[in-house]
């Protein structure tokens, strides 16, 4: 499995920002979950780029912990976005137990969900 090297700028073009985009994925998307994360996916037009949204609530922990979880998720997805088929919107919600995971444990948990939804 060969992964291309992406810069942070490349991932910025793939970030979901508006509430409307998040709500669309929640209402129309399929979901898979495990103990640590919930992943929602909705297919789009093939010509459109895939977008990713992250949601980490205050239940996960204080600001330091929430930002650490978001940084880990961004890095995991930065490495994998080139493997996605074009035209998917993805939202990942971190559950409370995600706060205690290492990078490798998070990577395994996210990969399982991505494979279940046939994104990679």
Residues 73-85: pLDDT tens digits? 999 998 888 787 6
Q: With 90 as the cut, is the pLDDT of residue 10 above it?
A: no
CB atoms within 10 A of CB 102: 9
> Which range is least confidently modeled, 5-9, 14-18, 108-112?
5-9
Yes or no: say if 14 and 50 are a contact pair by the CB < 8 Å rule: yes
pLDDT tens sequence across 90-116: 999 999 999 999 999 999 999 999 999
Of the two residues 83 and 23, the one the predictor is more confident about is 23
CA 112/CA 39 separation, integer angstroms: 10
Cα(99)–Cα(86) distance, integer angstroms: 30
Nearest Cα residue to 40 out of 92, 76, 82, 83: 92
Structure confidence by residue, pLDDT tens digits, 29-49: 999 999 999 999 998 876 678
Range in 21-25, 48-52, 84-88 with the lowest mean pLDDT: 84-88
pTM for the whole structure: 0.85
């Amino acid at each position: 499995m060969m992964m291309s090297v992406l810069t942070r700028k490349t991932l910025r073009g793939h970030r979901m920002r508006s509430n409307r985009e998040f709500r669309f994925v929640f209402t129309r998307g399929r979901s898979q979950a495990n103990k640590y994360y919930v992943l929602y996916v909705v297919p789009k037009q093939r010509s459109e780029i895939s977008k990713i949204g992250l949601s980490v609530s205050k239940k996960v922990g204080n600001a330091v912990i929430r930002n650490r979880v978001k940084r880990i998720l961004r890095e995991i997805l930065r490495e994998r976005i080139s493997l996605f088929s074009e035209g998917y919107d993805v939202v990942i919600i971190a559950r409370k137990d995600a706060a205690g995971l290492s990078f490798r444990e998070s990577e395994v948990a996210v990969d399982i969900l991505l494979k279940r939804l046939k994104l990679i």
